[in-house]
A = this chain, B = another copy of it.
């Protein structure tokens, strides 16, 4: 049916203010990605249907299909977004650590609280599980994992040093990340004290061989990859 009276929106919205196409696209994609990660965390991979995602984002089905031709495409981009968020979170975390007294304990606690006991990590678990049957997703997540590890490694070696072992700080923290992954996966099945004791246990066990370098109060040098991600993150 042609020609329906328009000019109602302008009456409702305060300042409809013209947005450039690119702004509109970016904002829409942002909403979709955020909703996708939310949905992955809350509803799981299976429960994250396109309908539920667009409902969560408060947009129409058409918007999604316009920006992402397939569900696969949306999830792949959401994985990328997950990487960026993780990067940023890790960055602020490492910065805050530099001021702490007991850096090891603070780092472990902060990693747990802010990275593994979070909805974002739940979303990651869902994606990892799904990547078992999705080669493309596996590729993306694998690359993501390597990049985060590559970011974390110099920071670990910058803040800490090992003694009496062949392992470098980065190796120790890789172990820590595996431990936290396992804890995070089963966090809802384990009691709080068990988790607490595991975190403390690791710190107690690692502290004799893992010392914070003295006189290091400034943040570690950011690798180039970091800034590249941060700037494209919007």
Seen from chain A, the residues whose Cβ lies within 8 Å of a Cβ on chain B are 42-47, 122, 125-126, 128-133, 138, 141-142, 145, 165-167, 171, 174-175, 177-186, 188-190, 194, 197-198, 201-202, 204-205, 209
Contact = CB atoms under 8 A, between A and B. Distances in A.
Given A133-B47, A178-B183, A185-B125, A171 B197 contact: yes
7 contacts: A47-B133, A128-B186, A131-B189, A175-B205, A177-B182, A179-B179, A179-B182
A229 B194 CA distance: 25
A131 B198 contact: no
**This chain's copy number in the assembly:** 2
B131 A188 contact: yes
A145 B183 CA distance: 13
A177 B181 CA distance: 11
Contacts of A43: 133
B130 A189 contact: no
Given A46-B45, A129-B129, A186 B181 contact: yes
Nearest to A140: B189
Nearest to A164: B208
Max chain B Cβ within 10 angstroms of own Cβ: one of A46, A125, A142, A194: A46
A171 B201 contact: yes
A167 B197 CA distance: 10
Nearest to A141: B189
A99 B17 CA distance: 77
Max chain B Cβ within 10 angstroms of own Cβ: one of A43, A133, A138, A189: A189
Contacts of A185: 125, 128, 181-182, 185
Per CB-CB distance, the 7 closest pairs between chain A and chain B, nearest first, are A181-B182, A46-B46, A182-B182, A178-B182, A142-B189, A179-B179, A178-B179
Contact of A201 (B42, B45, B175, B177): B175
A56 to B, nearest CB: 15
A177 B45 CA distance: 25
Contacts of A141: 189
Given A131-B189, A188-B131, A198 B175 contact: yes
Contacts of A166: 204
Given A44-B45, A182-B182, 20 more contacts: A42-B133, A44-B130, A45-B46, A125-B185, A128-B189, A131-B189, A145-B186, A145-B190, A167-B205, A175-B198, A175-B201, A175-B205, A178-B186, A180-B182, A181-B181, A181-B186, A182-B184, A182-B185, A185-B185, A205-B209
